[in-house]
């Protein structure tokens, strides 16, 4: 893995994070190089580096709301939210949230999926951060931005641990900044899910 343009070039924590992410060829389908963050979770030093880097970046940005994308955004979002004193909102796959929800469809490489959010969770004029483990096409994060904006929040930034190379050079999603810690080498990534 290589570091991306994130203002942390030369920071040894990025290598520790990269090294802790396992790459599984041809999972879950032939041709996909799966970036497995579950091995990062087995390494408390590297896992803490991820949380520390995001907390350092966001603690003084007046963020009141951290939204995490099901499922892997639920791992990284809550510790960041707690450390910066923001609430955590889960963005869930369809049919999981009770109460009044709004939903957004988005494109996957094959087919479509949908994300839902509890509309009462967001107050107007909140400043939001969206967290996920990985950005591939950006469809999931774009749907997340739309949900939050529809509920009246201002999305300050989206942040992911891994950005796939097809995303190289792209640091905006729906006009919002995207902040990524590491990126697999070309060798590590054949395609996305």
Ligand X SMILES: O=P(O)(O)OC[C@H]1O[C@H](OP(=O)(O)OP(=O)(O)O)[C@H](O)[C@@H]1O
Q: Which of 32, 84, 115, 151 binds ligand ADE (CB under 6 A)?
A: 32
In angstroms, the CA 65 to CA 128 distance is: 5
What is the β-pairing status of strands 65-69 and 101-107?
Answer: unpaired
Q: Which is nearer to ligand X, 62 or 175 (CB)?
A: 175
Would you count residue 18 as binding ligand ADE (CB under 6 A)? no
In angstroms, the CA 67 to CA 164 distance is: 21
Would you count residue 116 as binding ligand X (CB under 6 A)? no
Among ligand X, ligand ADE, none, the one that 70 touches (CB under a kind-dependent 5 to 8 A) is ligand X
Count of residues of this chain found to bind ligand ADE when the rule CB under 6 A is applied: 8
In three state form, how does the secondary structure of 82-151 look? HHHCCEEEEEECCCCCCCCEEEEEEECCCCEEEEEEEHHHCCCCCEEEEEEEEECCCHHHHHHHHHHHHC
Q: Which of 80, 117, 136, 148 binds ligand ADE (CB under 6 A)?
A: 136
Q: Which of 5, 109, 114, 120 is catalytic?
A: 109
In angstroms, the CA 25 to CA 33 distance is: 4
Q: Is 109 a catalytic residue?
A: yes
Would you count residue 76 as binding ligand ADE (CB under 6 A)? no
Would you count residue 72 as binding ligand X (CB under 6 A)? yes
Would you count residue 153 as binding ligand ADE (CB under 6 A)? no
Would you count residue 167 as binding ligand ADE (CB under 6 A)? no
In angstroms, the CA 185 to CA 164 distance is: 9
3-class state of residue 42 by DSSP: coil
Q: Is 72 a catalytic residue?
A: yes
Q: How far is the CB of 75 from ligand X (least distance, A)?
A: 9
Would you count residue 182 as binding ligand ADE (CB under 6 A)? no
Q: Which is nearer to ligand X, 126 or 132 (CB)?
A: 132
What residues are annotated to the active site?
A: 72, 109
């Amino acid at each position: 893995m290589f570091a991306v343009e994130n203002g942390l070039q030369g920071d040894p924590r990025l290598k520790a994070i990269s090294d802790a992410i396992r790459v599984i060829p041809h999972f879950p389908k032939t041709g996909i190089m799966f970036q497995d963050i579950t091995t990062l979770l087995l390494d408390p030093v590297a896992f803490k580096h991820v949380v520390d880097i995001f907390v350092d970046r966001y603690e003084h940005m007046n963020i009141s709301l951290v939204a995490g994308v099901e499922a892997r955004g639920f791992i990284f979002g809550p510790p960041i939210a707690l450390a910066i004193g923001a609430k955590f909102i889960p963005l869930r796959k369809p049919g999981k949230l009770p109460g009044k929800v709004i939903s957004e469809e988005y494109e996957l490489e094959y087919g479509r999926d949908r994300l839902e959010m509890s509309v009462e969770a967001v107050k107007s004029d909140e400043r939001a951060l969206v967290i996920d483990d990985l950005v591939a096409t950006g469809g999931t994060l774009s749907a997340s931005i739309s949900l939050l904006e529809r509920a009246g929040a201002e999305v300050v930034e989206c942040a992911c641990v891994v950005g796939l190379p097809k995303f190289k050079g792209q640091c905006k999603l729906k006009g919002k900044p995207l902040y990524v810690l590491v990126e697999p080498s070309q060798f590590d990534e054949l395609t996305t899910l």
